[in-house]
Structure 1
Amino acid sequence: MAKRLLPSLNRILVEKIVPPSKTSVGILLPEKSSKLNSGKIIAVGPGDRDRDGKLIPVSFKEGDVVLLPEYGGTQVKLAEKEYHLYRDDDIMGTLLD
């Protein structure tokens, strides 16, 4: 049975996007020095509350591809897959096609 994590408060569960290291024909690609640190949002928490108790919803939604900070986040392992938990305000922005 696979476990599913629903983040609490303003936390976001992200699966990092790892660029392929081989082409489809098996050629090894060297690491690029300017690799983009991005990830796909898997789950979001309901949001945080302000001083008056009003809910402040999370700025992102499931499926968004986002730019992540170079450092930070909490590593989580679920069903042999690696994810990272970030707070809403740690995410740097949404990447658009």
Structure 2
Amino acid sequence: MKLVPLGDRVVLKQLEAEETTKSGIVLPGNAQEKPQQAEVIAVGPGGVVDGNEVKMEVAIGDKVIYSKYAGTNVKLEDEEYIIVRQNDIVAKVEG
């Protein structure tokens, strides 16, 4: 099975949370902040969404940062994904 997003939606796979701080302090699981960085797994076709032309600006494999409370969490075959609208993605991470 695979997720195929519709319209301007994007399927993201969240990157792992940091387990230690930059100063070397190890964080227990419940103290780790949910990362807002993810990898793009699938991209919808874009097109006309809510009466506006939408050009998809992300591609599969891109690393992105998305809004903290955005999206719908989905679990499929023991993997967790987040489905967001493209406008919930605030930046691409390059380099």
TM-score, structure 2 normalization: 0.77
2:12 corresponds to: 14
The alpha carbon displacement at 1:18 in A equals 1.4
1:19-71 CA-partner distances (Å, limit 9, x unpaired): 3537xxxxx822577x752000000000031648xx53211000000011111
Q: How many percent identity over aligned positions?
A: 28
Larger Rg: 1
The structure carrying a bigger strand percent of its residues is 2
1:25 corresponds to: none
1:73 corresponds to: 71
1:84 corresponds to: 82
1:58 aligns with 2:56: yes
Mark the runs of 5 or more structure 2 residues left unpaired by the alignment.
none
Mark the runs of 5 or more structure 1 residues left unpaired by the alignment.
23-27
Counting matched residue pairs gives 88
Residues in 2 aligned to 1:13 and 1:81: alpha-carbon distance in whole angstroms: 12
Q: CA RMSD in A?
A: 2.7
